[in-house]
Amino acid sequence: MTSQNTKQFLLSLPKWIFICALIGILSGSASAFFLASLEWVTQFRIQHDWIIWLLPFGGLLVGLSYYYWGESVAKGNNLLLEEYENPQKTIPFKMAPLVLLGTLLTHLFGGSAGREGTAVQMGGAIADQFTKIFKLDNSERKILIILGISAGFASVFGTPLAGAIFALEVLYFSKINFKSIVLSFLVAYAAYFTVEFWEIKHTHYSIPIVPELSFSNLFYIIVIGVLSGFAALLFARSTHFWSSLFSKNIKYPPLRPVIGGVILAIAIAGFGFTKFSGLGVPVIVDSFSSPNEWYDFLLKILFTGFTLGAGFKGGEVTPLFFVGATLGSALSTVIPMPIALLAGVGFVAVFSGATHTPLACTIMGMELFGIQPGFFIAIGCTVAYFSSGSLGIYKSQIVKGAKYKLYQKFQKKELEHL
């Protein structure tokens, strides 16, 4: 940063601190309301499991709301990435209430989805409204999008460091200046402390036993990383496959989640697959102490990809946690390492491979599980990143760095198959 840029940054800093505070408080409050509401609908579904049979009705509500009022924001997280790469027009504020309602309906009736996408979209929609209020140009608007993503991610998971880095890394660090980095951390902590103020609790995990570093343990973690990368690749392709299948064969969009809801209701309620509905947090927690079945992670990939592909709303990240934790947990029966460590590494490694964000996932792992297993987490996330292919869960994400040449080579071929 030149002396002139430094001077301009310092002069504009009070304004941006104020903006960060506003975005942090508003996004954090929105996430707090969302998390509280999500817990309520989840508990209601658990206590009244017959409601899963109404999943087609929930799908109809979601489909109609986006068809008549949300066509401009239907791309979700991809819209944020596209607007950052090529700013066109301010993201409509209606993205926030629509994705909030759609996600709550999805979880109320038992769809398999996450929560990160909802929080990030609410944060992005809220943040981008300040473009007009403060009369910001396109370069400054890009900063707002970073702040919205950072605030949403940090507040919904209770991981401010990971949230700040995720917002920068998912945008491949391109044209991100020092100002963006500083402000991303400021808004992440503002949103995080806002959720704390509202006394919303996050799920806590622990890795009580961390073995010593040895060649054999390093080999096992690399194996976990490779398998996590393959699971991430399968997850991304599954989501895109089902989305493409529904789009090609059902021309009327509101009908897609209705038909998808019928199939899901029969599978979940009729065949007893309720453990794969909703977020699946209890299953994730249990995976740190009890080995899962080897096929649990595959079924979660199937149910989540189908749910989101059919047009239901929600995020992908918590299901990715489910996939990674249950994969690592299942492997504890054949890999002689502590089950909690294997589940924890898988937890963040699959996320790393699916979003191309190994640094943010490594930091997140240490925020959630502590510093002690940090080296194993870093290895797992890095290996998963390299072994997950070039197509992640976000179609509009630009892959740079070590994957750039591979992405350039196969991008056209892969997109043709979607």
Domains of the chain: 7-197 (1.10.3080.10), 215-416 (1.10.3080.10)
Output the six-digit token pair for 195. Answer: 């959720």
DSSP state of 177: -
CA distances from 387 to 221, 364, 403 (A): 13, 20, 10
pLDDT of residue 10: 75
The sign of the torsion formed by the CA atoms of 394, 398, 402, 403 equals positive
d(CA 260, CA 394): 21
The whole-angstrom separation of Cα 122 and Cα 91 is 10
- What is the C-alpha to C-alpha distance for residues 168 and 118, in angstroms, rounded to an integer? 18
Q: Are 394 and 354 in contact, with CB atoms under 8 Å apart?
A: no
Q: At what angle do helices 77-85 and 116-128 cross, to 10 degrees?
A: 40
CB 70 within 8 A of CB 95: yes
Q: Residue 166 is encoded by which pair of tokens?
A: 């995720």
What residues in the chain have per-residue pLDDT under 70?
1-6, 9, 173-175, 399-418
So what's the pLDDT on residue 395?
Answer: 86
Cα Rg of the chain, angstroms: 20
* Whether 337 contacts 230, CB under 8 Å: no
Residue 317 pLDDT: 95
Which residue has tokens 């792992």? 365
| 213 CB neighbour count, 10 Å cutoff | 11
- Contact criterion met (CB below 8 Å) for 41 and 136: no
Amino acid identity of 269?
A: A
Q: Please give the helix or strand (H or E) that residue 28 lies within, else none.
A: helix 3-47
Give the pTM.
Answer: 0.94
Q: Are 92 and 73 in contact (CB under 8 A)?
A: yes
Tell me the C-alpha to C-alpha distance, in Å, between residue 35 and each of 28, 59, 131, 200, 393: 10, 21, 27, 7, 23
